[in-house]
Amino acid sequence: MSANGSPTGQQPTATYDSAFLKACRREPVPHTPVWFMRQAGRSLPEYRKVREGVPMLESCMRPELVTEITLQPVRRHNVDAAIYFSDIVVPLKAIGLDLDIKPGVGPVVEQPVRTRADLARLRDLTPEDVSYVTEAIGLLTRELGGTPLIGFAGAPFTLASYLVEGGPSRTYENAKAMMYGDPQLWADLLDRLADITAAFLKVQIEAGASAVQLFDSWVGALAPADYRKSVMSASAKVFDAVAGYGVPRIHFGVGTGELLGLMGEAGADVVGVDWRVPLDEAVRRVGPGRALQGNLDPTVLFTDKDTVEARAGEVLDAAAGLEGHVFNLGHGVMPNTDPDALTRLVEYVHTRTAR
């Protein structure tokens, strides 16, 4: 079977024909497909149970655990796609960097990347470095049947922000100082990270992922001119590297209203939109030829059912003129979200958009 879910030279499979992959390809769909960023994770009691006593990075390296966590929201919510359970820093850990994910803090890098000499620590990623990914996706695709699996990776800017800062930041002052003040070092760093990210996504697609999402979570911290000058070519390198597989490439970052057009141009087939830009405005910024994903404010899920449905209805109304729409939240599911509210939301979108 080819990586896009279509048996080579044969009839399309159930996966290839799924509402999710059709929407990504901007083909007619039986209903608007739904999945949620961070659907596999902290909002689910069954997730918290299987994670008990298992550190975050270790949980990403145990194929059976990854499989269980990835499947949990598919079983519970009837979402149209699974997202591979991982963390943005997994490929960096896999090439031997000394980093950890500290509870309540986030990724912490022991020795931040600040100089040209530090680049030498960023060696290529090989499939052997992440054999647990190949194994987990093998298990997953058997369990998932016709439900597509979305591969997962962090984009070069967001990876660089952790590496240069040494941990999470609200200001990215060290990363941006390098970007503004030493553009050649910055470009070389992002180029290295693009190669690592591309290799990580290739492993996932070759193991059976039938779409990928490249998370540039924090790139909304940049003005458009800086994105174009200092980030776009590295993200484009990742997208180009996996173009030959024919699987849809989704791209998302929070607070990227000013960047939506450029993030599409970088090579995304589907542009994710946060809740700040209505989808009918987002489509004007992105232009034709790309699907959109989004964009219910995740905090809406803390209100009652009627309010959730009214707001989800507004998202669907704003999406009415799109060529392709994947329903999602405008950012990840928040930890305190009631899982039942997510299940009801999937049902609402499916019912309301059934054709």
Question: Which residues lie near a copy of itself (CB under 8 A)?
Answer: 171-174, 176-177, 180-181, 220-225, 255, 257-258, 275-278, 297-300, 302-304, 307, 311, 334, 336
Q: CA-to-CA distance for 143 and 136, rounded, in angstroms?
A: 11
Q: CA-to-CA distance for 54 and 8, rounded, in angstroms?
A: 40
Beta carbon of residue 277, minimum distance to a copy of itself (angstroms, whole number): 6
Helix locations, 107-242, DSSP H: 131-144, 156-165, 173-181, 183-207, 224-230, 232-241
Query: Can 42 be counted among the known catalytic residues?
Result: yes
Query: Can 84 be counted among the known catalytic residues?
Result: no
Q: CA-to-CA distance for 267 and 259, rounded, in angstroms?
A: 13
Of 176 and 202, which has the nearer Cβ to a copy of itself?
Answer: 176
Residue 336 contacts residue 42 (beta carbons within 8 Å): no
Query: Can 284 be counted among the known catalytic residues?
Result: no
Q: CA-to-CA distance for 264 and 247, rounded, in angstroms?
A: 16
Look-up of token digits 């194994």: 135
Beta carbon of residue 269, minimum distance to a copy of itself (angstroms, whole number): 25
Please give the radius of gyration of the chain, using alpha carbons only, rounded to the nearest integer.
19
Chain centre distance of CA 323: 21
Of 24 and 113, which has the nearer Cβ to a copy of itself?
Answer: 113
Of 234 and 254, which has the nearer Cβ to a copy of itself?
Answer: 254
Of 118 and 258, which has the nearer Cβ to a copy of itself?
Answer: 258
Beta carbon of residue 173, minimum distance to a copy of itself (angstroms, whole number): 5
Of 9 and 181, which has the nearer Cβ to a copy of itself?
Answer: 181
- Active-site option among 87, 100, 188, 297: 87
Beta carbons within 10 angstroms of residue 188's beta carbon:
14
- Active-site option among 16, 47, 84, 162: 162
- Active-site option among 16, 26, 38, 47: 38
252: tokens are: 């998302």
Of 42 and 123, which has the nearer Cβ to a copy of itself?
Answer: 42
Distance set, CA 346 to CA 239, 340, 352 (Å): 29, 10, 10
Q: CA-to-CA distance for 91 and 103, rounded, in angstroms?
A: 19
Query: Can 87 be counted among the known catalytic residues?
Result: yes
Query: Can 38 be counted among the known catalytic residues?
Result: yes
Beta carbon of residue 73, minimum distance to a copy of itself (angstroms, whole number): 20
Beta carbon of residue 211, minimum distance to a copy of itself (angstroms, whole number): 27
Beta carbon of residue 26, minimum distance to a copy of itself (angstroms, whole number): 25
Q: Specify which residues 326 forms β-bridges with.
A: 293
Residues of 131-140 as b/e, b for ≥16 C-beta within 10 angstroms? ebbbbbbebb
Look-up of token digits 């997994």: 90
Helical packing angle, 131-144 and 63-77, nearest 10°: 30
Beta carbon of residue 178, minimum distance to a copy of itself (angstroms, whole number): 9
Residue 4 contacts residue 210 (beta carbons within 8 Å): yes
Of 5 and 272, which has the nearer Cβ to a copy of itself?
Answer: 272
- Active-site option among 25, 51, 121, 123: 51
Active-site positions read 38, 42, 51, 87, 162
